[in-house]
Amino acid sequence: MNGLGGWNRSENGVVIGLVQINTPVIRDREDLARQAEVIAGYVGKARRGLSTMDLVVFPEYALHGMSLETHDGVTSDLDGPEVAVFRRACIEHRIWGCFSIMERNPHGKPFNVGIVIDDQGEAKLYYRKMHPWVPIEPWEPGDQGIPVIDGPNGAKLALIICHDGMFPEMAREAAYKGAEILLRTAGYGACVREPWRFTNQANAFCNLMVTASVCLAGTDGSADSMGEAMVCNFDGTIVTHATGGNPGEIVSAEVRPDLVREARRGWGMENNIYQFGHRGFSAVAGGAQDCPYSYMTDLAAGRYRLP
């Protein structure tokens, strides 16, 4: 079910638009300012194109491009001019937005940050990417966990960035903290097209959670990005998927957080988010609730070592 991309919106639905914005070339602050206005223009396009849309989502690197430069001339601040442009766009077009910035860090390398701004221009979610794509990305790893917020129409919303989604623990943590919709923004190229698809589906199914994911599209003359915007339902089925990678395309779908809640309450079989902490509840009252996973206990104890 996707409500014909959100046109036939239900009372309990949340309509999400995923923008496959073209990979920009950013050299200096003037380029940053121009690209911020390009992004704001797409916020307006999203609203004009689909009046029912609740949330428009931009990929990782939509503002800064793929140069991976870390100097102050191409990084941003949360209270800086680029984010101010995003705030104004959300207010003007009465829509929530998810945006990407490379945030200046006076104490080290920049943080790769995602923010969600509501339709009043208030930053509701701030997330630092926990798993930079090493050895390629120079960003300092996030240190503030995965926040979960009350998003549009009361949906519980979380955000992870690109490589984060390759770690099943990231999606599980978001679901454990209550997320019903997991956004994943990325700048991936075609080399990870298949892992992108099956991890988005697995993250949804294994946690009874909607996943909505989008990459950059097109090329900056050096790096190619794949688009591949997709929404997966909580049973792992693909609701919508843009396989063409068209730069500038906005892929939309309606999702139903109320059905996520219903499944988490009522499913017995394959309710893995519950069963993970209640193993074998058919045989043991309440299920076994110990932690049998050595990698978890070792990591918590500071002795994580691979064989």
Which residues is 19 bridged to in the sheet? Answer: 250
Q: Please indicate whether residue 156 is annotated as part of the active site.
A: no
- How many residues make up the chain in this entry? 307
Strand partners, 160: 184
Paired strand residues for 22: 217
First to last CA, the chain: 44
What span, in angstroms and rounded, lies between the C-alpha atoms of 174 and 148?
Answer: 7
* Contact status, residue 17 vs residue 212, Cβ threshold 8 Å: no
Q: Which residues pair with 255 in a beta bridge?
A: 14
Catalytic site residue 37?
no
| Marked catalytic residue, from 82, 90, 98, 129 | 129
60 assigned to active site:
yes
User: % helix / strand / coil in the chain, to the nearest 5?
Assistant: 30, 25, 45
Q: Which of 90, 98, 162, 215 is catalytic?
A: 162
Question: What is the distance between the alpha carbons of residues 38 and 53, in angstroms, rounded to a whole number?
Answer: 19
Per-residue tokens: 71: 């100097």
CA 183 to the chain's CA centroid: 3
- The residue ranges of DSSP E strands in 53-153, in sequence order, are 55-57, 96-103, 111-117, 123-128, 148-150
Catalytic residue among 60, 180, 228, 254: 60
Rounded distance, CA 11 to CA 194, Å?
A: 34
DSSP 195-211: HHHHHHHHHHHHHT-EE
Residues recognised as catalytic: 60, 129, 162
